[in-house]
């Protein structure tokens, strides 16, 4: 079991773990039936994965990827060159059967598909207008950076649709039904670039709302009924916690669907799988679907979006790019479920003030040692969330009253915070940064979100992912303000 961590560098004087010992949590005991759909002998539909295995791909990974400029060029060439290849070169060299499978298909939102096809739906929640609280920024002169298109937004109704004879494919939440491809209702064709496109699984023409379906499984696994929760971004912890897990909780809470198996991505991280096992129920069958395989469902149950943030911008030319929108009702359901899991430790075992250490290779805080010293002196515990189990992370955030953290996936655990908790997000200053994300997610739950912004000082070519430096005095003023309340 991992220790909660002391500050970095040499500042370890006086440090002791909580209660002079590790925080122990019983391992998850689960009797779930997990069935993995095997891979085929045919080549996988993960085009990027296949390219990495080539001689050129291995050379790029071993010798060139370390150079940021080379990575940027490779990304640009792939994002622009692969569509050109699919549209203009591949049709000339492919046989007629492949041309048929890669034809343009209508890309239809779920609500529209249900309306025109008469698909049965089971409504879970009405549409709701959400007013966003205004976050605090330190220093106040940086308030102008927090421009968000979501001071108020209308979140659509949430429902479960039953689709007959549909195809669920590994690596995407897009559903193939007849000649149409179904996407969720929050997808913006013109503004949102998808992970499926980046990885060569689809090609989207936003102007004509159509798609080339490049995934192919010549022997899809037949199944009488299944609920689909496969997602292109499901392996990312933040996307899982805010876009996939809430939908799973809503579906599994409905008694009428208790016998329906659910399908998710294959190869998910241990903590993500732990969260799934904890919320799905002991008797629920779980199917894992790898990239390159498909399920042919006689009846497919599809839960509409409960939250969504785009994978990437399709273009910077259009204003109003989404910072993420989330259903307050769905996330209150999620929080209640997570709190119900918190029964295995005594409350006093968890700190009330925490600072999250980010170990990722991007968006790093250049002066993190200085900040950790400050936080430690103020009684904060330094935590590396990725070294804790899922249940431990939920318990940690459930009992925390003040959380200071650089922006990152681990902060998605703040959906487990109690109303009134303070979350301070450290972010770099950049015109394309989606500052509204954390406020949109946590504000409607009664969690107070504040920001301390720093200047990007390294890796400027990475845009919003560049390393930045935060003024420690700004953080000091903010936390002193919390202590006076």
Q: Concatenated DSSP letters for 128-163?
A: EEEEPPPPEEESGGGGGG---S-SEEEEPPEEEEEE
Q: Are residues 180 and 63 in the same domain?
A: yes
* Mean pLDDT, residues 331-348 taken together: 79
Whether the pLDDT of residue 246 is over 90: the answer is yes
Last residue of a domain, one of 267, 292, 325: 325
Q: Are residues 262 and 119 in the same domain?
A: yes
Range with the lowest mean pLDDT among 2-6, 83-87, 373-377, 449-453? 2-6
Whether residue 443 is contained in a domain is answered as yes
CA distance 392 to 385: 9
- Core vs surface per residue 416-428: b (16+ CB within 10 A) or e: bbeeebbbbbbbb
CA distance 458 to 467: 5
Whether residue 213 is contained in a domain is answered as yes
Pick 264 or 24 by higher pLDDT. 264
Whether the pLDDT of residue 89 is over 60: the answer is yes
Whether residue 74 is contained in a domain is answered as yes
The answer to whether the beta carbons of residues 284 and 261 sit under 8 Å apart is yes
Pick 464 or 427 by higher pLDDT. 427
* Mean pLDDT, residues 72-98 taken together: 66
Q: Are residues 359 and 407 in the same domain?
A: yes
Last residue of a domain, one of 258, 291, 325: 325
Whether the pLDDT of residue 86 is over 80: the answer is no
- Please give the pLDDT value at position 367: 74
- Please give the pLDDT value at position 34: 87
Whether residue 335 is contained in a domain is answered as no
Whether residue 450 is contained in a domain is answered as yes
Q: Are residues 290 and 362 in the same domain?
A: no
Q: Are residues 294 and 351 in the same domain?
A: no
Q: Are residues 252 and 142 in the same domain?
A: yes
* Mean pLDDT value across the chain: 82
Provide, rounded to the nearest whole percent, the portion of the chain with pLDDT above 90.
Answer: 49
Pick 413 or 148 by higher pLDDT. 413
The answer to whether the beta carbons of residues 4 and 17 sit under 8 Å apart is yes
The domain in which residue 38 lies consists of 33-85+101-325
Whether the pLDDT of residue 16 is over 60: the answer is no
Q: Which of 356, 361, 363 lies closest to 386, judged by CA?
A: 356
Its pTM stands at: 0.85
CATH number, domain containing residue 448: 3.40.50
Q: Are residues 257 and 350 in the same domain?
A: no
User: Which residues sit opposite 29 in a β-bridge?
Assistant: none
* Mean pLDDT, residues 457-480 taken together: 68
* Mean pLDDT, residues 478-485 taken together: 76
Whether residue 114 is contained in a domain is answered as yes
- Please give the pLDDT value at position 37: 84
- Cβ neighbours of residue 259 under 8 Å, at least 6 residues apart? none
Range with the lowest mean pLDDT among 66-75, 85-94, 244-253? 85-94
Write out the two tokens for 413: 């655990």
CA distance 332 to 381: 27
Whether the pLDDT of residue 471 is over 90: the answer is no
Q: Are residues 406 and 435 in the same domain?
A: yes
Residue whose token pair is 């950790």: 372
CA distance 350 to 14: 19
In terms of average pLDDT, the best of 70-74, 85-89, 195-199, 268-272 is: 268-272
Q: Are residues 117 and 242 in the same domain?
A: yes
- Core vs surface per residue 261-276: b (16+ CB within 10 A) or e: bbbbbbebeebbbbbb
* Mean pLDDT, residues 109-131 taken together: 95
* pLDDT range class, residue 138, cuts 50, 70, 90: confident
Whether residue 426 is contained in a domain is answered as yes
- Cβ neighbours of residue 134 under 8 Å, at least 6 residues apart? none
Whether residue 445 is contained in a domain is answered as yes
Q: Are residues 191 and 276 in the same domain?
A: yes
- Please give the pLDDT value at position 109: 97
Q: Domain count for the chain, please give it.
A: 2
Q: Are residues 262 and 351 in the same domain?
A: no
């Amino acid at each position: 079991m991992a220790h909660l961590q002391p500050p970095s560098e040499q500042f370890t004087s006086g440090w002791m773990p909580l209660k002079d010992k590790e925080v122990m949590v019983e391992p998850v005991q689960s009797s779930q039936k997990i069935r993995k759909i095997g891979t085929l002998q045919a080549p996988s539909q993960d085009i990027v994965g296949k390219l990495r295995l080539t001689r050129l791909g291995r050379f790029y990974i071993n010798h060139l990827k370390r150079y940021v400029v080379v990575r940027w060029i490779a990304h640009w060439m792939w994002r622009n060159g692969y569509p050109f290849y699919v549209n203009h070169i591949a049709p000339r060299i492919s046989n007629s059967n492949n041309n048929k499978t890669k034809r343009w298909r209508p890309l239809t939102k779920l609500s529209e598909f249900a309306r025109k096809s008469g698909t049965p739906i089971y409504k879970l929640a009405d549409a709701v207008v959400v007013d966003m609280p205004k976050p605090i920024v330190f220093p106040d002169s940086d308030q102008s950076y927090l421009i968000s298109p979501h001071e108020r937004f209308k979140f659509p109704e949430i429902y479960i649709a039953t689709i007959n004879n549909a195809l669920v494919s590994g690596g995407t939440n897009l559903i193939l039904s007849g000649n149409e491809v179904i996407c969720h209702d929050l997808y913006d064709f013109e503004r949102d670039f998808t992970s499926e496109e980046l990885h060569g699984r689809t090609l989207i023409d936003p102007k004509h709302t159509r798609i080339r379906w490049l995934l192919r499984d010549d022997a899809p696994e037949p199944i009488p009924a299944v609920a689909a929760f496969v997602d292109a971004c499901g392996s990312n912890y933040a996307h899982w916690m805010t876009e996939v897990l809430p939908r799973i909780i809503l579906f599994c809470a409905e008694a009428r669907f208790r016998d329906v198996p659910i399908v998710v991505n294959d190869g998910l991280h241990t903590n993500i799988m732990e969260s799934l096992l904890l919320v799905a129920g002991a008797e629920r069958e779980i199917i894992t679907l790898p990239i390159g395989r498909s399920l042919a469902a006689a009846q497919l149950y599809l839960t509409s979006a409960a939250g969504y943030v785009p994978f990437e911008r399709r273009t910077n030319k259009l204003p109003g790019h989404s910072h993420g929108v989330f259903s307050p009702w769905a996330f209150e359901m999620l929080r209640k479920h997570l709190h119900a899991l918190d029964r295995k430790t005594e409350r006093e075992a968890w700190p009330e003030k925490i600072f999250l250490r980010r170990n990722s290779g991007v968006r790093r805080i250049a002066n993190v040692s200085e900040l950790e010293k400050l936080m430690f002196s103020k009684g904060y515990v330094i935590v590396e969330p990725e070294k804790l189990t899922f249940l431990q992370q939920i318990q940690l955030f459930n009992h925390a009253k003040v959380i200071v953290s650089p922006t990152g996936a681990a902060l998605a655990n703040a959906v487990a915070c109690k109303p009134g908790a303070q979350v301070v997000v450290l972010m770099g200053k950049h015109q394309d940064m989606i500052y509204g994300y954390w406020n949109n997610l946590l504000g409607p739950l009664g969690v107070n979100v504040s920001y301390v912004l720093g200047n990007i000082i390294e890796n400027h070519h990475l845009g919003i992912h560049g390393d930045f430096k935060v003024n420690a005095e700004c953080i000091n003023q903010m936390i002193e303000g919390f202590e006076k309340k």
